[in-house]
Amino acid sequence: MKIALIAHDRKKDLMIQLCTAYKPVLEKHELFATGTTGLRIVEETGLKVHRFKSGPLGGDQQIGARISQNEIDCVIFIRDPLEAMPHEPDVTALIRLADVYEIPMATNIGTAEVLLRGMESGFMDWRQFSDSEHKHALEPDF
């Protein structure tokens, strides 16, 4: 699975805790992240991560673009609901694209754990059949 990992600043410690706890699960998958989140994950957990730009500099949009190309299977985005972001429109756009393409997405640590455990139990295996043909069948007509 291709998993995108993103955390807002005040949630980054929580993301590191999640990645440390679930390292045995995460290391079996291909990991992607926004710039600063990815750097911290690499440095503090030793996991291998493809890093995009930092969120405020376009990283959320880069991940959204990957979703639209059927290149991300799941998103863990630990958002900070108590702080206004200068790039709020990018955050909203990413969440919207996950919904457009029916990509499982967790926006808090509780759901993130359910997602990772579900993945381990095979609940995400359907994504393997989500090839480009299937994607086109799901694509909205616009």
Closest CB 103 distance from ligand 13P, rounded Å: 16
Residue number with the shortest CB distance to ligand 13P? 55
The continuous run of DSSP H or E covering 74 comes out as strand 74-78
Contacts of 40 (CB under 8 A, 6+ apart): 12, 15, 16
Instruction: Determine whether the annotation assigns residue 58 to a binding site.
Output: no
Torsion of CA 120, 75, 62, 55, to 10 degrees: -120
- One of 20, 30, 54, 58 touching ligand 13P (CB under 6 A): 54
Q: Catalytic site residue 60?
A: yes
Identify the CA nearest to 127 among candidates 105, 142, 108: 105
CA dist., res. 23 & res. 95, Å (int)? 25
Among the listed ranges 28-36, 64-72, 95-103, 108-116, the one in contact with ligand 13P (CB under 6 A) is 28-36
- By beta-carbon proximity to ligand 13P, the closer residue of 86 and 110 is 86
- List interacting residues with ligand 13P (CB under 6 A): 6, 8, 34-37, 54-56, 59-60, 87, 91
